[in-house]
Structure 1
Amino acid sequence: MSEALVLQSDFGKCDGAVSAMYGVAQSVNKSIRIFDLTHDIPPFNIWEASYRLLQTVSYWPEKTVFVSVVDPGVGSDRRSIAIKTASDQYVITPDNGTLIHIKRNIGIAEARIIDESVNRLPQSGESHTFHGRDIYAYTGARLASNLISFEDVGPEVPVESVAELPIADAKIAGRVISGTIDVLDVRFGNVWTNIPSQLFKMLAVNYGETVQVTLKHKNQVICSRRMVYGRSFADCSVGEAVVYINSLEHIGIALNQKSFAQAYDIGTGSDWGIVIEKITSH
């Protein structure tokens, strides 16, 4: 029995790219089980691809194979890589920073460069712009189908050599926590930060109390306002802001039944900062 193959990309589904990846996997093994993580990563947004893997990978069974293709450097000398996570799943992807959140939060047990001389769709050697189909989906399907072992993917390389993106840890100083905006809860416009719940709890803020929240882009203040700390969105009135612990047990910010990201034109990444300050009574 094959393992699950989970696909992620920035291709969208308006053309045949995703279907072609499915077709390649089916040509390897007609009984393979294929699932979509998402194909709506914003074009070329490596950071978001990295975070969506973090959001998903550890909830899948051991040996699940993920193929993530957000590849603005396709056809260049960037490496094609496969990694085994510390929780025993596999990810096949361009080595362009897509693995930074897994590397820092889950851990990489082993990394291998894909040997394209054997792990490439037959008769696809003239194309250099669709590695998602010709290399990643093909290799991922073979690995998930147990037609190759992880060792057969290619030569091992040091985990330390896996490419990274700039990333910072959340910090606390007195009654102030600073962090970054990692990703958006896209459909609802909630803002997800890199501030873990345990760090936030060090402020000793109780449910129903308010904190001062400031959002910055490249040190320019975008929004600064008081927000209630609640268990869920319903702990404030419709349209009001709430600070809450999201499904990954990090701090999130939302407007009840409205989009916070749209209201303030919020983006994501290491140059989007957040500061949360406990309000002391006088």
Structure 2
Amino acid sequence: MQKRLIAIETDYGTADGRAAKLVGAVKRVDASLEVCFANHACPRGNILFAGTMLYNSLAFFPRDTVYACIVERADGENPPCAAKTHDGKLILAPDNGSLTIWLENFGIAALRRLDAAQAPADMNPYAWFAARLANGTLAFDGLGPEYPVESAQRFPMRGAAVGEGYAECGVLSVMENFGNLNLSVSIERFEQTGIRFGDTVRVTLCCGEEIRFDADVRYDRSFGFTAPGAPILFNGSSGYVGLGLNQASFSDQYMKDRRELPDGVGAYALVIRKAAAGKEAS
């Protein structure tokens, strides 16, 4: 039997040994297993970021990959679970909303509970389960009880609507290092608007009834097509449309309260409309 690849995503960082201990735990179960780090730089407890990274990364891994997404929120429960994707991958993660974006885009074939008490006391349970699943000594069906996919926890996510010359959507996540936004409209769906690179669009960002941003914005391939400080709409590496400022933080300028809102970035809504022909963003 061919052993599965293990990929690990956490908010542990690399300043101490916590991330390294995960590899050590896997290797103690089976030294021959291949382990790679998908990301250890998730902001602490940020399940929106974790879910975006999961969506952006796992789709490119081979069939049968075991992907451990270990990001626990500080303000709620984090019951461990295992998810089987429709293409044969396994995701080990807290059922705390971090599966939301994957569910919305690809769905999940089955969900099972994980009993962390089964793992040795000195080993991270996600690493231990990942190793056992990867080397075939434990099967997905041999995990804890199955439960309905529909009952998986989800964070608030505003859906997208598109038509000729317009898109309505929400904010999927904030790339905190730069302040750019991942919007909840995929690049594939945005193409249905007929808006093309070089076009000027009117972007309106609201939080409830309050308009936070309302301006003409250029839609183009990269930040190099705009002046420093100017807004730009672009295709993000996450597979979603992005919104940002050239050499500045859009989120810090227009969404300063995003961490305090009960729904987080789910409280924001955007309308994008193609500007009149011949109109250019400043």
Bucket of the pairwise TM-score, normalised by the shorter protein: 0.7 to 0.9
Match of 1:275 among 252, 271, 276: 271
Which letter maps to 2:156? Answer: P
The residue identity in structure 1 corresponding to 2:55 is L
| CA drift at 1:233 | 2.6
Q: How do residues 69-84 of structure 1 correspond to structure 2 at under 5 angstroms? A: 69-72=70-73, 78-84=78-84
Counterpart position of 1:92: 92
Query: Percent of aligned positions with the same letter in both sequences?
Result: 27
Distance 1:54 1:198, change over 3 A: closer
* Structure-2 residue corresponding to 1:103: 103
The 3 A distance-change label for structure 1 pair 75 and 276 is: closer
Contact 1:139–1:153 at 8 Å: present in 2 too? no
- Structure-1 separation of matches of 2:21 and 2:86: 30
Structure 2 match to 1:254: 244
For 1:108-187, list aligned pairs within 5 A.
Answer: 108-116=108-116, 119-121=118-120, 123-124=121-122, 133-172=123-162, 175-187=165-177
| Correspondence 1:233 to 2:211 | no
Matched, 1:222 2:221: no
Is residue 200 of structure 1 aligned with residue 190 of structure 2?
yes
Query: 8 Å contact 1:58–1:87 — kept in the other structure?
Result: no
What number of residue pairs does the alignment pair up? 271
Q: Could you tell me whether the CA contact under 8 Å between 2:204 and 2:271 is conserved in 1?
A: yes
Distance 2:23 2:239 in 1: 33
> How far off is 1:175 after superposition?
4.7
Contact 1:219 1:273 in 2 (8 A): no
The equivalent residue for 2:235 is 245
My pick for the range that moved more, 227-236 or 183-192, is: 183-192
Gaps of 5+ in 1: 125-132
Q: Which amino acid aligns with 1:55?
A: N
Residues 203, 217 of structure 2: 8 Å contact kept: yes
State the shift of 1:217 in Å: 3.3
Q: What one-letter code is carried by the residue in structure 2 that aligns with 1:230?
A: D
Q: 1:109 Cα deviation (Å)? A: 0.9
TM-score w.r.t. length of structure 1: 0.84
Equivalence for 2:261: none
The residue aligned with 2:42 is: 41
Moved more, 58-67 or 14-23: 14-23
Deviation per residue, 1:74-105 (Å, 9 max, x gap) = 996x5321011112211111111111111111
Q: TM-score, normalised by structure 2?
A: 0.84
Q: CA separation of 1:72/1:253 partners in 2, compared to 1, >3 Å: closer, same or farther?
A: closer
Aligned residue type for 2:193:
L
List alignment gaps of at least 5 residues for structure 2. 259-263
Cα-Cα RMSD: 2.7
Q: Separation in 2 of the partners of 1:198 and 1:40?
A: 27
